């Protein structure tokens, strides 16, 4: 079997795909693609929009993170990452939709990128961007708090919703303001305290790059 994940090491969406693979216990190869640099033509042949990640499984090419994680769950043995009950499955899809549509930009591109990623690179931090991101993040976290079950977001078992939301919360809480804000939502704080201890989260932690490897985030 040939399974290759093409992605940017520091991409939150690349990490989501890696989390799904780790939870299923699937071995795979990785190819680094930086979407903020000149995208190689061979990668554009896989993903015409030049974003990451893209998965190639025995010649079958798939892009879009939600499609990739669902494919991984349906294709490989291991614990199910999607609930069987229709309402729990719908809640999973809703949570993923919320974090993708409303959470990624304020939590990752504004708060994390400006407060943490740029700081690590010795680049200027735009405080207005951080402040605006915190406003947006508060609305997202309030919505997630209202939707979340226990101990995982869709109920007693881990689902893809935990991986999608968890990858973004991992970055968001590296900012002191993000960690403090999450602590004001008790259900989410308890959930994150549990999720962050999983082996998959440690195994996929991208860390922070040295300054000479930072291009944009």
pTM for the whole thing?
0.94
* Domains, the chain: 3-75 (3.40.30.10), 86-203 (1.20.1050.10)
- φ, ψ of residue 19 to 5 degrees: the values are -60, -45
By DSSP bridging, strand 54-57 and strand 29-32 are unpaired
User: How many other CB atoms sit within 10 Å of the CB of residue 140?
Assistant: 21
Query: 39: Cβ–Cβ under 8 A, 6 or more apart, which residues?
Result: 33, 50
Q: 81-119, pLDDT tens digit by residue?
A: 999 999 999 999 999 999 999 999 999 999 999 999 988
pLDDT tens-place string over residues 134-180: 999 999 999 999 999 999 999 999 999 999 999 999 999 999 999 99
Token couple for 4: 């290759």
């Amino acid at each position: 079997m040939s399974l290759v994940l093409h992605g940017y090491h520091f991409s939150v969406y690349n990490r989501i795909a890696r989390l799904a693979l780790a939870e299923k216990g699937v071995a795979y190869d990785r190819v680094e693609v930086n979407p903020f640099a000149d995208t190689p033509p061979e990668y554009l042949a896989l993903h015409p929009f030049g974003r990451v990640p893209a998965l190639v499984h025995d010649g079958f090419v798939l892009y879009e993170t939600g499609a990739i994680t669902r494919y991984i769950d349906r294709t490989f043995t291991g614990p199910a990452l999607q609930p069987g009950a229709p309402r729990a499955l719908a809640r999973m899809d809703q949570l993923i939709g919320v974090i993708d549509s409303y959470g990624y930009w304020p939590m990752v591109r504004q708060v994390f990128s400006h407060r943490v990623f740029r700081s690590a690179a010795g680049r200027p931090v735009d405080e207005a961007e951080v402040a605006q991101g915190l406003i947006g993040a508060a609305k997202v976290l309030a919505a997630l708090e209202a939707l979340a079950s226990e101990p995982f977001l869709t109920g007693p078992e881990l689902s893809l919703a935990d991986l999608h939301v968890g990858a973004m919360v991992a970055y968001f809480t590296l900012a002191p303001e993000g960690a403090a804000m999450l602590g004001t939502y008790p259900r989410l704080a308890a959930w994150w305290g549990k999720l962050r201890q999983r082996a998959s989260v440690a195994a996929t932690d991208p860390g922070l790059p040295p300054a000479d490897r930072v291009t944009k985030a």
